[in-house]
Amino acid sequence: MESRIISCVGEKGGVGKSTLNCMLATNLVLLYGKSVVLIDMDDPQYSLYKKRLRETNAEISDDGQEIPYPVETASVENLRFIIKKYYGNVDYIIVDFPGSINREMVTGLYFIEHVFIPFSHDELEVDSTTVFYNTLRNNYLGDEKAALRSVHVFFNRYEKVKKNKFAKLRKLINGADINIMDSVVLDRTIYKEEYRSTIYPIPKNRENGEKEIKQFFDEIIEISK
């Protein structure tokens, strides 16, 4: 089995990366039939790992729901060991990093094969995302010690009512030689309130139309082949 090591990662907190990594892991398993391990490297908060523990205590014990995939905690010291433990045994290894550029992120990114960077149309966020993208491309893609094979950005919190603004920004990004994904992630509170789960997937009859999040999952699978 060939494992893919991927991550939705941002250079600052609040961009939605942990929500997306969680949703991606759960739905790859339960909707796409993939095998996954989710590695929480947000030391010492470990918010996704703690979420799994809460969901396990509150839900699995009540209705017999099976645990769909493991959630591991990691640090700089043991990340390599954990990746080796699962590499070749699962389809996807998804790593969730802290919301700032620190030792965990700088070291951990050497193991990631495909990076996906979320951002919105906010001017400051666009600037910082561009700098982060170029940092990865210039310092990791060309480094033989790094596993990185691709870097992509994508619109997160996309608002249909502002589609013209997003269209203009997409044109500028394409002109700046930045890989931007075709799919977007809409601005929806339901992602945090209901669909951000390590146990339950998005209902099969939801989020499957144009600009829905399943299109985002499909594109990640295609890019990381």
What does each C-alpha distance from 99 to 16, 57, 60, 145, 159 come to in angstroms?
9, 27, 29, 24, 23
CB 41 within 8 A of CB 9: no
Closest CA to 97 of 25, 18, 170, 159: 18
Q: Would you state the pLDDT for residue 50?
A: 96
Q: Would you state the pLDDT for residue 129?
A: 92
Closest CA to 163 of 216, 210, 116: 210
Whole-structure pTM value: 0.94
Judge: domain 4-223, CATH 3.40.50.300.
Answer: yes
- Distance, C-alpha 221 to centroid of its chain: 12
Per residue of the chain (225 residues), what is the pLDDT tens digit? 799 999 999 887 677 899 999 999 999 999 999 999 999 999 889 999 999 999 988 655 455 668 899 999 999 999 999 999 999 999 999 999 987 778 888 999 999 999 999 998 888 888 999 999 999 999 999 899 999 999 999 999 999 999 999 999 999 999 999 999 999 999 999 999 999 999 999 998 899 888 899 999 999 999 999
Q: Would you state the pLDDT for residue 119?
A: 92
Beta strands in 25-180 (DSSP E): 36-40, 71-73, 92-96, 114-119, 150-155
Q: Would you state the pLDDT for residue 64?
A: 60
Residue 220: both structure tokens together = 């990640």
Q: Would you state the pLDDT for residue 104?
A: 86
Closest CA to 74 of 43, 112, 115, 109: 43
